[in-house]
């Protein structure tokens, strides 16, 4: 399978450059693909949907973009085993397209990333997410250590996972909850969840494990210059922190 990676750009996407830079930092052959070039997407072997406000988040976040012609190719690609990574607004689009948890019909979501709680307002907060599945449950997380703890930035107004009790049970029992919010020491508790997300959920994967939708922005905590303490050394442009997920994604792409 072709290992080229497409970074999708919808009207309103605004995190594509940071995402592209990280993919290339791990030596991936990655390109920005704008909505006017949707027809080129079948030539790519993996897709990344970055953050932003696609179509101004009208109706609800991700709802219109999920019906963009680009998603026809992403859905077809996911069904054929291609990797799909959605981040923040990208995660909302992937969920609205029915790709995660993937238990319903195409473009018929069984859950939603909806308005934050208890106060429905935009939040921007540094967070940690903890791997809640066996690493090899999802191809994109397969190179991560068990229980990996990854720093990121929660920057969204609609990041709270919501679903019926039946579908939340389906998510939990089906191993779809890929990451949960956690404290810096790795402990999990309701106080670690910044947006009231059900189950403390920060990311979802599908049945087959080739699609990952993660709400916090890992790419905004992914370089040494993002960390004043220079925790990864003195090289300012060295990937660190949230880049751990991109490194694992890159290894998965190379296995295609």
Torsion, Cα 134 136 138 140, to 10 degrees, reads 120
Instruction: Answer for the pair 48, 77: CB distance below 8 angstroms, yes or no.
Output: no
Indicate if 88 belongs to the active site: yes
SS3 116: coil
Indicate if 217 belongs to the active site: yes
- Of 16, 96, 158, 219, which residue is the catalytic one? 219
Helix (H) or strand (E) holding 180: strand 177-182
- Of 16, 73, 88, 138, which residue is the catalytic one? 88
How far, CA to CA in Å, does 222 sit from each of 21, 26, 153, 247, 248?
Answer: 10, 12, 10, 10, 13
Q: Is 18 exposed, middle or buried (0-12, 13-18, 19+ CB in 10 A)?
A: middle
Q: Greatest CA separation found in the chain?
A: 49
Where in the sequence numbering do the catalytic residues fall?
Answer: 88, 217, 219
């Amino acid at each position: 399978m072709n290992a080229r990676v497409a970074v999708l750009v919808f009207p309103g996407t605004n995190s594509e450059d940071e995402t592209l830079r990280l993919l290339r930092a791990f030596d991936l052959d990655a390109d920005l693909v704008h909505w006017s070039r949707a027809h080129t997407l079948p030539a790519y072997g993996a897709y990344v949907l970055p953050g932003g406000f696609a179509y101004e988040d009208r109706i609800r976040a991700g709802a219109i973009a999920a019906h963009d012609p680009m998603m026809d190719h992403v859905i077809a690609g996911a069904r054929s085993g291609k990797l799909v990574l959605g981040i923040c607004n990208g995660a909302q689009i992937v969920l609205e397209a029915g790709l995660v948890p993937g238990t319903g019909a195409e473009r018929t979501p069984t859950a939603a990333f909806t308005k934050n709680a208890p106060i429905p307002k935009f939040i921007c907060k540094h967070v940690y997410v903890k791997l809640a599945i066996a690493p090899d449950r999802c191809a994109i997380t397969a190179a991560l250590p068990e229980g990996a703890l990854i720093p990121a930035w929660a920057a969204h107004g609609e990041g709270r996972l919501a679903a019926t009790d039946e579908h939340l049970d389906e998510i939990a029992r089906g191993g779809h909850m890929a990451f949960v919010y956690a404290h810096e020491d790795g402990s999990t508790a309701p106080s670690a969840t910044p947006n009231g997300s059900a189950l403390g959920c920060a990311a979802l994967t599908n049945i087959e494990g080739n699609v990952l939708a993660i709400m916090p922005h890992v790419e905004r905590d992914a370089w040494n210059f993002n960390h004043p303490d220079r925790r990864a050394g003195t090289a300012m442009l060295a990937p660190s922190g949230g880049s751990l997920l991109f490194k694992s994604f890159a290894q998965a792409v190379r296995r295609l």
